[in-house]
Amino acid sequence: MMLLKQQQVLFQPASWRYVYFLLMSVVLLSCIPREVTPLFLTKGSASPASEFINIKEGKTLSMNCSAPSKDLYRVWLGKSIGSDDTNWLTQNSTIKTNDPRVSIATRSFDEHSAFYMQITDSTESDAGRYKCHVTWGGANSFGYIFVSVQYFPAENPICATNESDRISTESIAVWCDTAIGNPEVTITWRVDHSDKKSQVSSTAQNYRRTHE
């Protein structure tokens, strides 16, 4: 007969602080949109913090800038213009732009405050570098959020070739006229030798029809 060893495990009651932290974390995570990449700023950081967001054209662009709440004075969010200037879109919970697509929401939990800026119906022009600047009493910090917007040209590429019955496959020239997109439109060429005449066909990727 096989004897099984029993092991008794004793669980200690969790402290109320630990339970509170878990509950608040669950609440915060449930409120944050999935597209948001948090940018955390702290006092006296040696170098600017940075985050990256990749979004498709037409979707809502969401940015989150969080900082310690103690002595927090002002939080700016805006888009960089050139290397030094910034077009500030929000200040604390106030919208500083006439763009109706921009909104701002704030939330606080434990010892941190989070500022969520959203831009609905994103376009190619919304791509770029965004800046969050935070000031406390006697201290400040800033960081960047780099945004890439994927957009796809609506027009089908127009492709052509100089193929003929008398030239070899190596001599066939092919070309396409297509709009610029992000990522770039790519063309795949195929030569069919099943008939006496070489048939050249093309397939395009990364234009709007392939992403609908």
Instruction: Assess whether pLDDT exceeds 70 at residue 22.
Output: no
Inside any domain, residue 129:
yes
Q: Please check the confidence at residue 98 and state whether its pLDDT lies above 70.
A: yes
How many CA atoms are closer than 13 Å to the CA of 151, on its beta-carbon side?
18
How many separate domains does the chain show? 2
Domain-embedded: residue 179 = yes
Query: What is the C-alpha radius of gyration for the chain, rounded to an integer number of angstroms?
Result: 27
Specify whether 146 is located in the same domain as 100.
yes
Q: How far apart are CA 172 and CA 170, in angstroms?
A: 6
Q: What is the pLDDT of residues 43-84, one digit of tens each?
A: 877 778 899 999 999 999 999 999 998 889 999 999 999 878
Which runs of consecutive H residues, i.e. helices, occur in 1-114?
A: 16-31
Contacts of residue 9, Cβ cutoff 8 Å, sequence gap at least 6: none
User: Could you tell me which residues come within 8 angstroms of residue 119 by beta carbon, excluding any fewer than 6 positions away?
Assistant: 60, 61, 99, 101, 102, 126
105 shares a domain with 39 = yes
Q: In terms of domains, do 92 and 52 share one?
A: yes
Residues 125 and 69 in one domain: yes
Q: What pTM, to 2 d.p., does this model score? A: 0.68
Task: List the CATH number of the domain containing 40.
Answer: 2.60.40.10
Give yes or no: residues 129 and 75 share one domain.
Answer: yes
My answer on whether 204 and 144 are in the same domain is no
Residues 109 and 182 grouped into a single domain: no
Instruction: Say whether both 46 and 99 belong to one domain.
Output: yes
Domain that includes residue 139, residue range: 35-150
Distance CA 147, CA 77 (A): 14
Q: Which two tokens stand for residue 113?
A: 């405050």
